[in-house]
Amino acid sequence: MAQVTVGDVELYYEIHGEGPPVVLIHGLAGDCGAWAPQINVLESGYKIIALDNRGAGRSSAPDYPYTTAHSRRRSQVRQNGRGCHLAGSDAHPSL
């Protein structure tokens, strides 16, 4: 669907549906395709934004070590100055 440059990486993302924004963020090794069942249910009432994290799926990887904690510290999601709903999936117990 689309890519956006964030810092030094190209992040792949998909947008489905219309309505209040919901951002779906998968675990470290997954890609946004893992959200297909949720997207199918939610897109009728929400604008779904699903992305591939840096180094996963169709997003590029930086040339230095990185972790999910690094991504969390650098993440701030806004939609036209308003907040959005966030949903995530990860097996890491500290998330």
Give 78's contacts (C-beta < 8 A, 6+ positions apart): 84
Instruction: Identify the helix (H) or strand (E) that includes residue 30.
Output: none
Between 39 and 65, where is the model more confident? Answer: 39
CATH of the domain spanning 2-88: 3.40.50.1820
Gyration radius of the chain over CA positions: 13
Burial classification of residue 25, based on how many CB atoms lie within 10 Å of its CB (0-12 exposed, 13-18 middle, 19 or more buried): buried
Domain boundaries, the chain: 2-88
Question: The tokens 């308003």 sit on which residue?
Answer: 82
pLDDT, tens only, 47-67: 999 988 888 889 898 888 876
The predicted model scores a pTM of 0.76
